[in-house]
Structure 1
Amino acid sequence: MFKNNALLHYHLAVHSWEQHTFRVTLSIPAHDSNTLSLTLPAWIPGSYMIRDFARQIIRLQATDENGTVLLSHKQDKQTWEIATHGQPVQISYDVFAFDLSVRSAYINDEYAFCNGTSVFLQIKEATHLPCTLTINAPEDTAKSVHTSMAQIPDTAFTYNAGNYDELIDHPIFIGRCVTRDIVVNDVTFTLLFSGEPVLALDRIARDLVPVCEHHMQLFGDPQPIQHYLFMTLLSSSGFGGLEHRNSTALLFPRGDLPMPGEEGTTDSYINFLSLCSHELFHTWNVKRIKPALMVAPDLSKEAYTPQLWIYEGFTSFYDDLTLARSGVVSPQKYLDILSAHLTRVLQGAGRHKQSAAESSFDAWTRFYKQDANSPNHIVSYYTKGGIIAFGLDLLLRRKSDGRVSLDTLMQHLWNDYGKDESGTPDEVIESLCHRAFGIDVSDYLSAVVYGTEDVPLQEYLSDIGLALHFRCRQSSDDKGGHKPDSTGNRHQLGASVKSAAMGVTVLQVAEGLAAEQAGLQINDTIIAADGTVVDDKLLQRYLNASASASLSLTVARDGRLIHCDLPVLRAREDVGYFTIEDTQRFERWLGLI
């Protein structure tokens, strides 16, 4: 249809900073067809939800070499058919960009950001053709252009991509920012932060060096990247990350990053380093080691796979572990973080109803479309997947007398499936453990991945010098991860709440606990207990002190006042924490000695 040397050329410009619009032109060479079909992806790889990016295209027009407008027909929500008659064609369209997210496109006064899936139309008949992209230089000299796409030498903001899939795998930033480069094992990592923030850039760069070293050493040479871009969009709030082949787009609160001269490592800063670690690990485990279905996914519809517990779960295990291995956090702090993840899993009744494999498969309709009742019905393939990875590491070490670990498994995944990007089958973990190590992990996977059993950590923890304990929550914001200073709450509401103008509003109701038995519903406002107006802390104090079988609650529900009896039930011990019983064993497991 197209000649062998045919090339598609895209041009991207910020059309209006005030109206938040990009303008894109696509130049298509001569071809052998009367019509061409153009489409925009419905989802972006790494985020498993239909987002219908084409709804943000404001107008679309096709013209021939003479500027004559060609007939176009919209076939469905994301596809246009253009009557080209085989001649060269230029497509021009505008894209509205005001979604502050790492998954789409956003323009404000400081910067413009986009993913290719939001702005670059695909020619169905030409997905294999190489592409070039020219980005308009911003008129404001304080604004600059950044992307991990390969720049054509001796050009101003012109880049090339081998095909459409490569074109859309490099997010683009145009605007004000601060940057810092670090070089690790001959690979350059660029740290970019949007706007003009006051940050301790030297410290952030220094803390990320061992994180980069760890991931690169784990998978070994040759490295799949020569340059990597950490692109961080700063905001007042918001959190997220999305992996790409040679970069990541991050969203993070600007106030949670360290400023020059500040000492200490806050939990929020640890979250940032963990997010960077997570997305960089995806360079190997998702962008190259990937489910066979994701090697060439159809971006117009859902792509179902039961394997996300491997890709997000294993990565969630390594993101924090890397911080401990590299000395960014202490061994005890790492255990506190791990305990918090375990506690999140244990406090959800959904873990008994949905397996990690089912959670992976249903990501499109359940995990990415959660509501307040979701913890009672689903389990996270991120958090439980991370605990599964931890248990699998301990199991492999025990069955091999310490010769095999999860590290060894990841290296085999990289060598067998990642380097050539051949794609993994659904049973890859079981088959690889058997083939490469002679270890049978089928019973373990059957119970905790394909079944709904909890990961049996207690069976293996003594091997690495740890013990696991359980206790009651000490407060509403107790996430686990530390030895209790007191006995904790005697009795449990069984719901999460937030402050209201008077009383507290119910956000979630846990299955089987007191709030559900009392008939409390999401969005109820608990005004009073036993006739006294309460807030979160006072309500808990009433529960702890109560010697009666129930508390009388006054509740506002949809404009009505109702009364209900809240059973006073003993609090569950569903908060986990680890203690170090043998420091040498634990530090050996971490790789510190």
Structure 2
Amino acid sequence: MINYTVSISNAAAHLIDVRLDVAQPDPEGQVLRLPNWIPGSYMIRDFSRNIVSVMASQGVEPITLTKLDKSTWQAPPGLTSLSVEYRIYAWDLSVRSAHVDNTHAFFNGTSIFLCVQGQDQEAQQVRFERPVHEAAQLFQLATTLKAIDTDTDGYGLYQAQNYDELIDHPVEQGTFKRLHFDACGIPHEIILTGACHFDEQRVIDDLTRICEHEIRFFGEPAPVDRYLFMVMVVGEGYGGLEHRASTALMITRENLPVIGESATSDLYLNFLGLCSHEYFHTWNVKRIKPARFVPFELNQESYTELLWFFEGMTSYYDDLVLVRAGLIDEERYLQLVANTLTRIQRGPGRLTQTVTASSFDAWHKFYKQDENSPNAIVSYYAKGALIALCLDALLRKHSQDEVTLDTLMRKLWDRWLESGKGLEEDEPQKLASQLLGQDLSGFFNRVLYTTDELPVAEALLSLGIKLDWRARNSATDTGNVTRSGAQNADASDQSKAAVDAKATVQPWLGANFDDAPGGVKLLQVFSGGSAEKAGMAAGDILIAMNGLSVNKADVANHLARHANLGEISIHFFRLGQLHNAQLALEPAPEDTSMLEIVDSDRLKQWLSGGRKEA
């Protein structure tokens, strides 16, 4: 058995101390390695760069480890025991790494546990000691590792069956808020670190509905004995990372519901969608996973084209679960679909990169985005979700609702329960064709391996929704939803604005920008847009339009006021040098989605998850 001891003696310096004891080291020279990436986040993060010091011994005798590469060490041959003490700097406030101070401690196993090569399938034990500072006397420890011998606050001895399990249970220590609920008989907890005041019962009720729906979707019993939502509440930040029996989340206080408010704010809806997404991963990616991830090779990139499936399908279901669980209505859900459609349509990268290439190149493109990324890449999350929608519609249409995407997901789960094997790169496509009894290779070749526009309009129409496109009417406009036959006088303000925007299209700069001293800074310049044609680039500081000073709020007004001129003069700084150019006042592209409900019965059939009665 491999044994670790984790202690924190200097939280103010953000340091974690780890002792590793190997009773039977490899006689040829034990190799130790720290992962270079964490499953679920496809980027080399070089966690070993945070190792401050390493010392090794056999009993009381010091020994020297030989460093083989940036994250690998080897002990001398012939040892009868091996102890390694190392110190880790932990000051990365994210869901991916480790963060320690006097208020709390959070860490993932990939950041702190050296892997004992050749013994990674052995049982692994870890003892967590209470941090050594006054505030820590009130700390509790939360993790989904199996407790062996712990005190009432959670400190003590834990065990994992192997190294892969050890690193898949993050740990939080602190004076966090703890909420409890059961879903389909499985204990669930929510811990929230950071000051927050919110409607706790509403969060419990809403997450219960999400979790119970997803458990029943795949079929009881759930694949976990208990589940933990680990929530870091911060002033600024957002994200999540899935684990086999827990998820680490980062949100702002505004993402939590206000006491006494019954409406669901957009920010709270984002939180529910994030929880739904990460919980769905309990099945789809933590268990059903690419064959190329079995086993994980955490010292180097593991390339797969299947992230369109694992993240795209999960992104499709995360919001769909919310409407099926009764947390939002049809129109609120369709607004989320409209947002995704608009997001993809506004990215020129959809015409440059296929969704499978986006998955394969995630390591150095999607996770390392720069100012040109909108022109060069497409999101396998968002486009994958639209592919899932198209596939669901296709299966329903050609089977008269007997076969749906739900059918495919449940079949894949049954397959995993039987074999535990990972999915080959073309396996979802083959199974979909098999279930339908038709060759779907033409569909999959188009949506996965070309940059052709997705057949999403046809798919939505078969589900009772008409899709049209218009120009945006403001910087925050991401689309709208209406019902067939609704009068403009009764429509929402957003729908009225959409009608006006369709009739009168205003000029568009062709860039994303933000306020900067003296003007606005261009963050991203879109291919083929007016800013690019005028010679502007990301990083430029636009200071004047038609001789008038400009700030972020002024840009749209300047463009609209001078629309009849055809072009205007602009002045901007690049690298401290002033430039002037002519900016063509071109109409904004029709890249904003308009969804119209034209068949309410068909829509209900889809959103309820129902199949046609035999």
Pairwise TM-score range, normalised by the shorter structure: over 0.9
Check 1:263–1:32 CA distance in 2 against 1; reply closer, same or farther (3 A cut): closer
Match of 2:18 among 24, 42, 59: 24
Alpha-carbon deviation of 1:173? 0.6
1:123 alignment partner in structure 2: 116
Structure 1: runs of 5+ lacking an equivalent? 1-6
CA contact (8 A) 1:430 1:440 kept: no
2:8 alignment partner in structure 1: 14
CA distance in 2 between counterparts of 1:592 and 1:40 reads: 44
**CA deviation vs aligned residue, 1:288-332 (integer Å, no higher than 9, x gap):** 000001120210000000110000000001111111111111211
Check 1:42–1:470 CA distance in 2 against 1; reply closer, same or farther (3 A cut): same
1:4 alignment partner in structure 2: none
Match of 1:519 among 529, 535, 544: 535
CA distance in 1 between counterparts of 2:64 and 2:573 reads: 58
2:141 alignment partner in structure 1: 145
**CA deviation vs aligned residue, 1:116-159 (integer Å, no higher than 9, x gap):** 00000001121111111110134633210000111115665211
Where 2:21 maps in the other structure, the secondary structure is: strand
2:370 alignment partner in structure 1: 371
CA contact (8 A) 2:215 2:221 kept: no
Where 1:35 maps in the other structure, the secondary structure is: coil
CA distance in 1 between counterparts of 2:38 and 2:239 reads: 14
2:106 alignment partner in structure 1: 113
CA contact (8 A) 1:143 1:175 kept: yes
Where 2:578 maps in the other structure, the secondary structure is: strand
Where 2:216 maps in the other structure, the secondary structure is: helix
1:278 alignment partner in structure 2: 277
1:476 alignment partner in structure 2: 475
CA distance in 1 between counterparts of 2:459 and 2:213 reads: 25
CA distance in 1 between counterparts of 2:548 and 2:276 reads: 48
The answer to whether residue 36 in structure 2 is matched with residue 42 in structure 1 is yes
1:3 alignment partner in structure 2: none
2:496 alignment partner in structure 1: 485
Larger CA deviation: 174-183 vs 29-38: 29-38
**Residue type of the partner of 2:608?**
G
The answer to whether residue 549 in structure 2 is matched with residue 556 in structure 1 is no
1:280-295 mapped onto 2 (5 Å cutoff): 280-295=279-294
Alpha-carbon deviation of 1:262? 3.5
CA distance in 1 between counterparts of 2:300 and 2:274 reads: 28
Where 2:263 maps in the other structure, the secondary structure is: coil
**Residue type of the partner of 1:317?**
Y
CA distance in 2 between counterparts of 1:224 and 1:109 reads: 35
1:379-398 mapped onto 2 (5 Å cutoff): 379-398=378-397
1:102-501 mapped onto 2 (5 Å cutoff): 102-138=95-131, 140-152=136-148, 156-417=155-416, 420-482=419-481, 484-486=495-497, 487-488=500-501, 489-501=505-517
CA distance in 2 between counterparts of 1:302 and 1:32 reads: 26
**CA deviation vs aligned residue, 1:15-64 (integer Å, no higher than 9, x gap):** 31100010000111034504111110000011100000011011111112
**CA deviation vs aligned residue, 1:496-533 (integer Å, no higher than 9, x gap):** 11112322111111111111111111111111111111
CA distance in 2 between counterparts of 1:153 and 1:394 reads: 51
TM-score by length of 1: 0.96
CA distance in 2 between counterparts of 1:275 and 1:172 reads: 20
CA contact (8 A) 2:18 2:112 kept: yes
Check 1:60–1:459 CA distance in 2 against 1; reply closer, same or farther (3 A cut): same
Where 2:189 maps in the other structure, the secondary structure is: strand
CA contact (8 A) 2:408 2:432 kept: yes
2:93 alignment partner in structure 1: 100
1:581 alignment partner in structure 2: 598
CA contact (8 A) 1:235 1:252 kept: yes
Check 1:451–1:108 CA distance in 2 against 1; reply closer, same or farther (3 A cut): same
CA distance in 2 between counterparts of 1:336 and 1:382 reads: 17
Identical-pair percentage: 39
**CA deviation vs aligned residue, 1:236-290 (integer Å, no higher than 9, x gap):** 1111111110001011112331233344211111101100000000000000000
**CA deviation vs aligned residue, 1:71-128 (integer Å, no higher than 9, x gap):** 2111110011112623122111110000011110001232100000000000112111
CA distance in 1 between counterparts of 2:171 and 2:342 reads: 38
**Residue type of the partner of 1:27?**
D
CA contact (8 A) 1:175 1:195 kept: no
Check 1:257–1:456 CA distance in 2 against 1; reply closer, same or farther (3 A cut): same
Alpha-carbon deviation of 1:542? 2.4
Name the Cα RMSD after superposition.
Answer: 1.5
CA distance in 2 between counterparts of 1:18 and 1:171 reads: 21
Check 1:465–1:30 CA distance in 2 against 1; reply closer, same or farther (3 A cut): closer
Match of 2:81 among 80, 88, 93: 88
CA contact (8 A) 2:65 2:76 kept: yes
Where 2:359 maps in the other structure, the secondary structure is: helix
Check 1:485–1:204 CA distance in 2 against 1; reply closer, same or farther (3 A cut): same
The answer to whether residue 63 in structure 2 is matched with residue 52 in structure 1 is no
Alpha-carbon deviation of 1:187? 0.7
Where 2:190 maps in the other structure, the secondary structure is: strand
Give the paired residue count.
586
Alpha-carbon deviation of 1:418? 5.3
CA distance in 2 between counterparts of 1:579 and 1:13 reads: 58
CA contact (8 A) 1:105 1:114 kept: yes
Check 1:31–1:55 CA distance in 2 against 1; reply closer, same or farther (3 A cut): closer
Check 1:464–1:63 CA distance in 2 against 1; reply closer, same or farther (3 A cut): same
TM-score by length of 2: 0.93
CA contact (8 A) 1:49 1:364 kept: yes
Match of 1:505 among 504, 521, 538: 521
Match of 1:531 among 547, 563, 567: 547
Larger CA deviation: 561-570 vs 32-41: 32-41
